[in-house]
Chains A and B, each alone.
Chain A
Amino acid sequence: AQRVTQPEKLLSVFKGAPVELKCNYSYSGSPELFWYVQYSRQRLQLLLRHISRESIKGFTADLNKGETSFHLKKPFAQEEDSAMYYCALRSGSARQLTFGSGTQLTV
């Protein structure tokens, strides 16, 4: 069975500092990885997905199959980045996602 691990429940960084939110997964096949974000009093929304290889709001994430990781990075954190971040995995042809436990980022 697949599993997504976000080792940090809470992460605090100073404005302008680099930020990295860690995500590790366990799945034997080729996964599809996502980052979802929930700002205060807003609904959960997609931030980025690895197949898009795009930068959203300055965030990037690279899928590292060797380390089974999909860490989210931003070089200069902003106050508006404060939110709950969830890493999620879709395995094979599955319709559903498996989410990690989330990391609350405070800038």
Chain B
Amino acid sequence: DVKVTQSSRYLVKRTGEKVFLECVQDMDHENMFWYRQDPGLGLRLIYFSYDVKMKEKGDIPEGYSVSREKKERFSLILESASTNQTSMYLCASSYRDRETQYFGPGTRLLVL
């Protein structure tokens, strides 16, 4: 059974703080993705990675960066958190390019 875990379910940060969101998958998946989920906007892709140290921008990468030093771990970094980054963040992974994406439980981030 595929397991995608995210380091926190809830986070509260202050404007300007550096924020790290961690995602780990245990099924040797090649691809990993970070989305944000907002009411009325659905899921929007921030960044994805198709291999260790490889990354590609999604639709809304501004204000975010990512890191993938190990195959199983994909980190989302908010360099200087802002209130408009308050959202639910979902991580996903897939085995190969055209395979099903499996999602983590999400991290609800509140930036004050």
Contact = CB atoms under 8 A, between A and B. Distances in A.
Chain A at the B interface: mostly helix, strand, loop or mixed? loop
Given A32-B98, A44-B90, A90-B98, A95 B45 contact: no
Interface size class of B (residues with CB under 8 A): 20 to 34
Contacts of A93: 97
Interface residues of A, number: 20
B89 interface: no
B41 interface: yes
B93 to A, nearest CB: 11
18 contacts: A6-B42, A43-B104, A44-B43, A44-B90, A44-B92, A44-B103, A86-B43, A90-B98, A93-B97, A95-B31, A95-B48, A95-B50, A96-B33, A96-B48, A96-B58, A99-B35, A101-B42, A102-B43
Interface of A: 6, 9, 32, 43-46, 49, 86, 88, 90, 93, 95-102
